[in-house]
Amino acid sequence: MLPEHSIEVAFWNMQLGGLQMNYGYPDRKSDQSMLVQITEEYQPIVEVLRTKRGSMTNYNYLVVDSFSRRAVIVDPAWQMDVVEHAMSQAQASLEGVLLTHAHADHVDLAGVLSEKYGCPVWMSTREIEASGFSAANLVGIDESDWWIGGMKITPILTPGHTPGCFCYLIGDNLFTGDVLFVEGCGICPDVESAYQMFESLQRLKREIKPETRIFPGHSFGKAPGLNFTGVIRENIYLHFRDKKRFAEFRQRHVHNREKFFEFH
């Protein structure tokens, strides 16, 4: 049994700005392996990629382990050239695709990237079952943590927008797809889903640290990366105390297919 926060690594000792770090990454070829602690100060690099097709604008996030350059990408869509340019600039090795949910504007490039780079596509098992989504190298996952290099990936089940939506916590960064925007939250298909969304947002308020940076799938004004304290200040959907009042407010518009992607 490995102690919490420890991984098997090829070890490095590094001096960064006066901070001594014991750091490493899994290297199956190395016979020099040991257990080290990932320091609290360590944070991955988050590359914010704004991509467009037609009227759709999405945020994709390339998350890079700053030492090993191993990387994952969250909800890749629309512009392969933008994604690959970012990977090249970051000297990143793509290790997997994290999908928050199965809507087309969040999964558009998942299969293409998976086939080209031979990496898994992760989505919640519940979302796969609810949506029927399929892609090359698709892996259904639950809320168990796992590591890519020095990055601990923690999926958080947050249904409401869809039945199996995940947010992903990596370091002090939360990738929220269409669950939580700076200015609002994702649409819900019916009242029961709105109740689920209320519970999901309450869970985030209980579990996410104030300094955590929030990276949504879309922006409706504010740039991605505002901390959770700032999002709570901006976002009326995080201030309801009663699920019925929340659902009444959330469902106050009649949605139609043309306005499917509108959040408010």
CB-nearer residue toward Fe ion: 75 or 95: 75
- In the complex, the smallest distance separating the C-beta of residue 104 from Fe ion, rounded to whole angstroms, is 9
CB-nearer residue toward Fe ion: 103 or 126: 103
CB-nearer residue toward Fe ion: 71 or 99: 99
CB-nearer residue toward Fe ion: 45 or 130: 130
- In the complex, the smallest distance separating the C-beta of residue 101 from Fe ion, rounded to whole angstroms, is 6
Nearest of 142, 1, 5, 26 to residue 95 by alpha carbon:
26
CB-nearer residue toward Fe ion: 100 or 212: 100
Q: What is the 3-state secondary structure (H, E, C) of the chain?
A: CCCCCEEEEEEEEEEECCEEEEEEECCCCCCCEEEEECCCCCCCEEEEEEEEECCEEEEEEEEECCCCCEEEEECCCCCHHHHHHHHHHCCCEEEEEECCCCCHHHHCCHHHHHHHHCCCEEEEHHHHHHHCCCCCCEEEECCCCEEECCEEEEEEECCCCCCCCEEEEECCEEEEECCECCCCECCCCCHHHHHHHHHHHHHHHHHCCCCCEEEECCCCCCCCCCEHHHHHHHCHHHCCCCHHHHHHHHCCCCCCHHHCCCCC
Interacting residue ranges for Fe ion, rule: CB under 5 A: 103, 178
- In the complex, the smallest distance separating the C-beta of residue 165 from Fe ion, rounded to whole angstroms, is 8
Nearest of 96, 88, 51, 50 to residue 72 by alpha carbon:
96
- In the complex, the smallest distance separating the C-beta of residue 218 from Fe ion, rounded to whole angstroms, is 9
CB-nearer residue toward Fe ion: 103 or 152: 103
- In the complex, the smallest distance separating the C-beta of residue 62 from Fe ion, rounded to whole angstroms, is 20
- In the complex, the smallest distance separating the C-beta of residue 161 from Fe ion, rounded to whole angstroms, is 6
CB-nearer residue toward Fe ion: 152 or 218: 218
- In the complex, the smallest distance separating the C-beta of residue 90 from Fe ion, rounded to whole angstroms, is 26
Nearest of 166, 176, 191 to residue 252 by alpha carbon:
191
